[in-house]
Amino acid sequence: MRPTVRCVYGLIRSLSQPNLSPQTTAPSILNVSVTSAHNVGLVNRFHSNSKHLISRKLMRNGEERKSVICIEGNIASGKTTCLEYFSKTCNTEVLTEPISKWRNVQGHNPLALMYQDPTRWGLTLQTYVQLTMLDRHLATSSAPVRMLERSIYSAKYIFVENLYKSGKMPEVDFAVLSEWFEWIIQHIHIPVDLIVYLQTSPQTCYERLKQRCREEEKLIPIEYLEAIHQLYEDWLIKRTSFEVPAPVLVISADHDLQKMLHQYEENRERILTARSTS
Indicate which residues carry an active-site annotation: 149
Nearest of 132, 77, 82 to residue 103 by alpha carbon: 132
| Gap between the Cα atoms of 116 and 114, Å rounded | 5
| Gap between the Cα atoms of 194 and 275, Å rounded | 7
Provide the CA 11 distance to its chain's centre, in angstroms.
21
Nearest of 41, 28, 53 to residue 267 by alpha carbon: 53
DSSP 242: S
Q: Is 28 exposed, middle or buried (0-12, 13-18, 19+ CB in 10 A)?
A: middle
Q: DSSP 3-state assignment of 225?
A: helix
| Gap between the Cα atoms of 151 and 194, Å rounded | 11
Residue 3: which region, alpha, beta or left (left: phi > 0; alpha: psi -120 to 50)?
Answer: alpha
